[in-house]
Amino acid sequence: MALRRLRPPFTPGSPPRPILLAVPTEVLVIRHAETYGNIEGRFCGHSETDLTPRGIAQARALGLRLRGQQFDAAASSDLSRAILTARHALEHHPAPLGPLADPRLREMHYGEWEGLAASDIAKTQADLLREFFTGRRHAAPGGESIQQLRERTAAALRDLVDRYQGGRLVVVSHGNAIAALLAELLGMPLERTWAFAVANTSVTRLTFGRSGRVTLAAFNDTAHLEGVELP
């Protein structure tokens, strides 16, 4: 399926800042459901790619899991795969809760690799690809750096937590964006950013304490997919 490309709107962000809260805040960070780009092994990045039938079923199962839970706000990447996943996840929410679309929650921009399959890139740039996946190369050719990705995703989440202190929040983003966000919030070195493998529609739960400390309470939870018939 053809990918629809968007221009990268980002520049390096400001250094991360601590969050000092009056009351603790809980955030569920969710990766979007399966897309055609995922099953084709493409670097989708900022390019648009549709959810597969399996992905739609995953997102609906997530919605059933969250049914009856109360949230104070929701945000997602402004890419359609994240927005649609968020809508399915919140379709049973007691009150209408449309996700706030924030471009800072987009996936990494992959520059010259945008929309290309990793298998095709490996034919001509195998060494670069290997260095990228092992963390020795911090950006795809002409693309966004890992540090830029870490800073912008963390800034987006900090702004949301600041705004809804003491609340329960839902954030829908992308695989590498979530890995970068977690690495930044937990103070991990740049080379360890890709240590987190994030599954489609997985739920990662973060708590932000009064002291500004971030706790990873749950990671990559896909319990809602167990026993579910997927196409």
- Which residues are tagged catalytic? 32, 107
Helix 146-163 and helix 175-185: axis angle, to 10°?
70
Yes or no: say if 26 and 207 are a contact pair by the CB < 8 Å rule: yes
Q: How many angstroms separate the CA atoms of 148 and 181, rounded? A: 11
List, in sequence order, the alpha helices (H) in the chain: 36-39, 53-66, 80-89, 118-133, 146-163, 175-185
Residue 20 has a CB neighbour count (10 Å cut-off) of 12
* Burial class of residue 119, CB neighbours in 10 A (0-12, 13-18, 19+): exposed
Classify residue 225 by its DSSP letter.
G
Classify residue 95 by its DSSP letter.
S
